[in-house]
Amino acid sequence: MAKTFYTERDIEDLFRQGVMTVTLTDDIVMTDLAYEKARKLEMKLAQAEDTPPAAPIRPYINTPAKTTSARSAVTSAPCNCGDASRVDAIKVKVHETVKARLGSNVDEGMLDAVIDRVAKDLGLG
């Protein structure tokens, strides 16, 4: 099946005709300028994912994280004050593991901040 290409001028023409929604499929390709023009004109672009055509797909960012067995093992017991040493031990182990895999390329302050944030998100404090 032939693909339909939309340029910036095509989007302007559609807008002048009163078209306010463009449904994007595998058979429709928009140039970067057409995409930007549609956004500026506040046209609705109906598509599965809201990413510009030239944007790389990053599944580790675009999809929600899956629950892993490590997470469920960590969160299986409710966190209370007596578990603080257990949580600290987990943080140290994660830090050591990441450091061992990435070597000296790790910003230790940033790594500790990420570990603390993940622990907080998991309800581990």
Using DSSP's 3-state secondary structure scheme, residue 57 falls into coil
The rounded distance, in Å, linking the Cα atoms of 60 and 57 is 9
Give, in order, the Cα–Cα distances in Å from 7 to each of 26, 34, 104: 16, 5, 47
Return per-residue pLDDT of the chain as tens, 125 residues. Answer: 688 899 999 999 999 999 998 888 878 888 999 999 999 999 998 865 555 556 665 555 544 545 444 444 444 444 454 577 888 888 888 888 888 888 777 788 888 888 888 888 777 76
With DSSP H G I counted as helix, E B as strand and the rest as coil, what are the percentages for the chain, rounded to 5? Answer: 55, 10, 35
Task: Specify the 3-state DSSP secondary structure of 112.
Answer: helix
- Overall pTM surpassing 0.75 (yes/no): no
